[in-house]
Amino acid sequence: MNAVNEASPPDPAGGMPPEAPHPMPEQDLDRKPPRGERGPWPGGAIVYARIILICTTLAIASYGVHQMLQVVSVAQMTWLQGLMIVFFAITLSWIALATGSALAGSSKRRETPHRSPAPAPGGSRTALVMPIYNEDPVRTTSALQAMAEGLIAVGGHPGFEIVVLSDSTDADAWIRESLAVGRLRAGLAGSMPVWYRRRWRNLARKAGNIQDFVERWGGRYDYMVVLDADSLIEPSTLVGLVHEMQADPRLGILQTAPMLIGARTLFGRLQQFAARVYGPVITRGLAAWSGDSGNYWGHNAIIRVAAFAESCGLPELPGRKPFGGHVLSHDFVEAALLRRRGWKVRMTTELGGSWEESPPSLVDLAVRDRRWAQGNLQHLKVLRTRGLAFISRVHLGIGIMSYLSSPLWLILLTIGFALALQSHLIRPEYFTQDFQLFPTWPRFDTQRMTALFWFSMVVLLVPKTIGFLRALLKPSLRRDSGGAIGVTASVFFEVLLSALYAPILMLIQCQHVFEIVMGRDSGWKPQRRDVEGMSWAEAWRIHKRHFLLSCVTAVIVWFLSPPMLAWVSPALLGLFLSVPLSRYSGSATAGRLLSRVGLLRTPEEARPPPLAVRRAALIAVSPALPEDGLAYLARHREARWAHLHGNLPRPADPRGEPDAHALTAEQKLQQAGTLHEALAWLTPLERVQVAGDARMLAQLALLPDARRLGGPI
């Protein structure tokens, strides 16, 4: 084979359409931009929902604080008691806000999505954009093919194009993506264009990936539907989303309310059931009081490209990581910036047909939460942005509080524990220095405290209760979730398990916040989506501190006051059982057992969506992709050429600054005597350089196998 001919340059298009740049200027957070066309004031339904939200939150918080003042009333309040009341007020207001939002959602009228008589949204072009990062390409391309086939079946495919935006840093993952996208392109040839681009520089993570696409090819598209690697959206929903955008030229983002599907583990099924039964209550509440100042969750949403480019060029936040640098939780910020320029951001709760998957275990949820915690706490710097709508600031504040609430709860519990310790160890002063005839007796109203505890529990469970009643009253949901008895048993089981997991998650989130405050960056790790077991040793390593904390606390409380141990035992029990709870959270066996006994069932489990069925079928028949991508390209000429022609060429190095990894990779290839030797020498970064260079791939292909030389492979 001639190395010169083999190394001829690949097609400069490289798997993407001709560039159609769309400028995306960086936004100045300290300067209020000119606002676009002002829409009408919020309608009566939105105002009514906001009144319910505010009045409910204030009423619950005021009553709870008043009762707490009565509980700890003494002749002179101590500073410790004052602190407890402050933190109690904050935490109670937080759960009261969720209750107020759920009640506001019950006032929301049903939407009537805009429907066009034409099945295909003509006159526009929409990109189905899937950003990926070292994901399983068979799974992602199967999902895209299932959605594309669905659009073709209903005649809605004209105007849609698939765009896969890779940020993968592993050479083998990249090569597998090229091969999988090639198969997808061949499978949809003549029906829907399939484009693929891998970035060489992973600036700003997912937000930077999307921005690069908009700046280089955004002028080609009117809208983009942003997907996650686990997203599925029904074809009728995709067509409906485009129709909604066409019907309202000031609509910048239309966010769907995705449901969870495909869970097989105990923890995954727990989240899936909760999202199916309680989720609609939460999303209807958000949509009711947000109105046109809604939020964006980063996926399963349609975006007007021109509005996004105009409004959402994210700046680097000042300061060092983890609070400074590129914006991590970009979705909330992008929604706020769009609204700042007068674009509408709305959530649809009636369109349906939108799904995603959940982390399979407690540990996987914690890994994802670490990144989200840092991103949401970063929003403390975004809150000062000039020109933000008040509701946008509320969304940012809710995101911040969703992670600060755990440390606040822990502080409240610690103060309560300190008060109990104080009352046991410090003798009260019955006679003060002032002259008085009768002593000052400390009063702690146990009966009122008990009533306040149950009041707080009721407030906490109101959204779940509404979701439970909705499930019982909706025939299709009740029938496909196990009937009235099955739904009732599942709700009780979910509440019990959630109560056990809650203290573990609280301490995990406290650790996350502590690490962020101490300046530790979350990094960027690919999310694990498949079911994998956890050993007892790993579970013990992760949760031994939780277990030991529960034991020490229980012993101390027992010596202080045995009756008090009964009160704190629900929280301590979850920590005490943290090792087995985490170990079995990712168990597919436990998930199957629950399914067999009819617990935590959902309609999507009883009747899987055709889209999910088709994706599973495509995954099942997909040929296996090579583990060692470089070795495969070296021995398969057609695959090597397809990989080179399906990727954009490697950007040239700046003058005088050659890439060191490319230089060392080339030297190793020249010195290697066999393919096996070359692959063993190359580092991960060097493998990436070889995978993107036609000449080095040609050199690799010319190396003989070790077997030919009589040596080991």
- pLDDT one-digit tens code per residue, 120-140: 567 899 999 999 999 999 999
> Confidence class of residue 249 from pLDDT cuts 50, 70 and 90?
very high
- Highest mean pLDDT pick, 251-255, 551-555, 588-592: 251-255
Taking each helix axis as running N to C, give the angle between helix 279-290 and helix 390-425, from 0 to 180 degrees, rounded to the nearest 10: 120
Q: Is the pLDDT of residue 709 over 60?
A: no
Q: What pLDDT is recorded for position 434?
A: 54
Q: Is the pLDDT of residue 438 over 50?
A: no
Q: What pLDDT is recorded for position 447?
A: 75
pLDDT tens digits, one per residue of 391-410? 999 999 999 999 999 999 99
> Confidence class of residue 146 from pLDDT cuts 50, 70 and 90?
very high
Q: Tell me which residue of 156, 146, 154, 151 sits closest to 124, measured CA to CA.
A: 156
Q: Tell me which residue of 89, 92, 83 sits closest to 417, measured CA to CA.
A: 83
Q: What pLDDT is recorded for position 488?
A: 97
Of 147-151, 202-206, 557-561, 702-706, minimum mean pLDDT range: 557-561
Q: Can you list the domains of the chain with their CATH numbers?
A: 126-357 (3.90.550.10), 624-709 (no CATH)
Q: Could you tell me which residue, 534 or 428, shows the higher pLDDT? A: 534
- In the predicted model, what is the mean pLDDT of the chain? 89
Q: What pLDDT is recorded for position 1?
A: 38
pLDDT tens digits, one per residue of 268-289? 999 999 999 999 999 999 999 9
Rounded to the nearest 5°, which phi and psi values hold at 240?
-65, -40
Rounded to the nearest 5°, which phi and psi values hold at 47?
-60, -45
pLDDT tens digits, one per residue of 341-371? 999 999 999 888 999 999 999 999 999 999 9
Please give the average per-residue pLDDT across 233-257, as a whole number.
96
Of 257-266, 415-424, 447-456, minimum mean pLDDT range: 415-424
> Confidence class of residue 659 from pLDDT cuts 50, 70 and 90?
very high
Please give the average per-residue pLDDT across 251-280, as a whole number.
96
pLDDT tens digits, one per residue of 458-470? 999 999 999 999 9
In angstroms, the CA 167 to CA 688 distance is: 12
> Confidence class of residue 562 from pLDDT cuts 50, 70 and 90?
confident
> In sequence order, what are the residues at sequence separation of 6 or more whose Cβ sits closer than 8 angstroms to the Cβ of residue 240?
113, 114, 115, 351
- Report residue 673 as tokens: 């005597």
Q: Is the pLDDT of residue 39 over 80?
A: no
- Report residue 605 as tokens: 């489990």
In angstroms, the CA 620 to CA 604 distance is: 20
In angstroms, the CA 45 to CA 107 distance is: 8
- Highest mean pLDDT pick, 63-72, 123-132, 443-452, 698-707: 123-132
- Report residue 604 as tokens: 């999507």
Q: Is the pLDDT of residue 712 over 60?
A: no
> In sequence order, what are the residues at sequence separation of 6 or more whose Cβ sits closer than 8 angstroms to the Cβ of residue 118?
none
> Confidence class of residue 175 from pLDDT cuts 50, 70 and 90?
very high
Q: What pLDDT is recorded for position 530?
A: 63
pLDDT tens digits, one per residue of 64-122? 999 988 887 655 677 888 898 999 999 999 999 999 999 999 876 666 555 444 455 67
Q: What percent of the chain has pLDDT over 90?
A: 75
Answer positive or negative: Cα dihedral of 463, 464, 468, 469. Answer: negative
> Confidence class of residue 416 from pLDDT cuts 50, 70 and 90?
confident
User: Does the pTM of the predicted model rise above 0.85?
Assistant: yes
Cα end-to-end span (Å), the chain: 22
- Whose structure tokens read 């969304």? 395
- Report residue 260 as tokens: 């969870």
Q: What pLDDT is recorded for position 440?
A: 47
Angle at 663 between CA 169 and CA 682, to 5 degrees: 55
> Confidence class of residue 10 from pLDDT cuts 50, 70 and 90?
very low
pLDDT tens digits, one per residue of 305-330? 999 999 999 999 998 888 889 999 99
- Whose structure tokens read 């992008």? 334
Q: How far is CA 157 from CA 149, 160, 691, in A?
A: 9, 6, 34
pLDDT tens digits, one per residue of 213-225? 999 999 999 999 9
Angle at 55 between CA 351 and CA 105, to 5 degrees: 10
pLDDT tens digits, one per residue of 676-691? 999 999 999 999 999 9
Please give the average per-residue pLDDT across 246-262, as a whole number.
96
Q: Tell me which residue of 690, 688, 642 sits closest to 180, measured CA to CA.
A: 642
